[in-house]
Amino acid sequence: MKFLFLGDVMGRSGHDAINERLPGIIERYGFDFVVVNGENASHGKGLTEPHFNAIRNAGADVVTTGDHAFDQRETISYIERESTLIRPINMPPGTPGRGAMFLEGRNGHRVLVINALGRVFMGPADDPFRAVEAAVAACPLGEQADAIIVDFHTEATSEIRAMGQFLDGKVSTVVGTHTHIPTADHRVLRGGTALMADAGMCGDFDSIIGSETDEPLNRFLTGIPNGRFTPAEGEATLCGVAVETDPRTGSALQGAAAALGGTLAQAEPDFG
């Protein structure tokens, strides 16, 4: 099967680009399954229900989140009834929603999607390694699941690389989100797990990680807040990674970076 993972949707620029371009991307490249991290889609923080519905209607099978999962208060009320919206699995017991979802893709593929939150330079969270390990053990790759996709929302590339090595051979792919900067390290590990340290963002790169430059630059120069961060609204680049898996085992056969539109150098998620 072929699936596409897109990094953090950032503000109006990001969610408008998803709505306008994702359906054509799915059709052009023949993706069987799509995961989108939507945690910054609503004004740069969190995800309102209308924005979630729009991302789903554009073709995302599952929408993941991260440390901003509940920045929009309404998420608490609707995440329980939306099975395709998941929050990090290692949030404290009693947190609304779910951290993993098992569902069927467009061509009948059985896909497990897991969302986890890192702990390096991040807020308090339970052990992500053991939480993800338990979810994978309950739905093994090549048995119950035809593919397993892990969105590891973390600040440190060392932590995402560690998660990839920890899960190598047990999942189809481990993809990092959160920093909004796409890395150039996408590869398939020895055990058959595709790994990319950060998928980047779906947003305007003529910015400072998706925000208009004035306020972030002011804080770097003076150390004194002078206002709120405002999402940049120029043309978005849709960034992420595409992975093709072995239909028998669920292991990754190959991966390709995606960077479509906007100001970044373009990368086609095409396996030829």
pTM over cut 0.85: yes
- All structural domains of the chain with their residue ranges: 2-209+235-260
Catalytic residue among 15, 68, 178, 186: 68
What confidence tens digit (pLDDT) does each residue in 170-199 have?
Answer: 999 999 999 999 999 999 999 999 999 999
CATH architecture for the domain at 2-209+235-260:
4-Layer Sandwich (3.60)
pLDDT value at residue 272: 66
Question: Do 255 and 241 form a contact (C-beta atoms < 8 A)?
Answer: yes
* 68 given a catalytic annotation: yes
Rounded alpha-carbon distances, angstroms, from residue 81 to 6, 75, 98, 132, 257: 23, 10, 10, 22, 33
Q: Which residues pair with 10 in a beta bridge?
A: 40
* Mean pLDDT along residues 134-161: 97
Q: For residues 198 and 229, what is the distance between their CA atoms, to the nearest angstrom? A: 22
Q: Given pLDDT bands bounded at 50, 70 and 90, which one contains residue 106? A: confident
Over its C-alpha atoms, the chain yields an Rg (Å, rounded) of 17
Q: Please provide the average confidence, as pLDDT, over all residues in the chain.
A: 96
Q: For residues 65 and 124, what is the distance between their CA atoms, to the nearest angstrom? A: 16
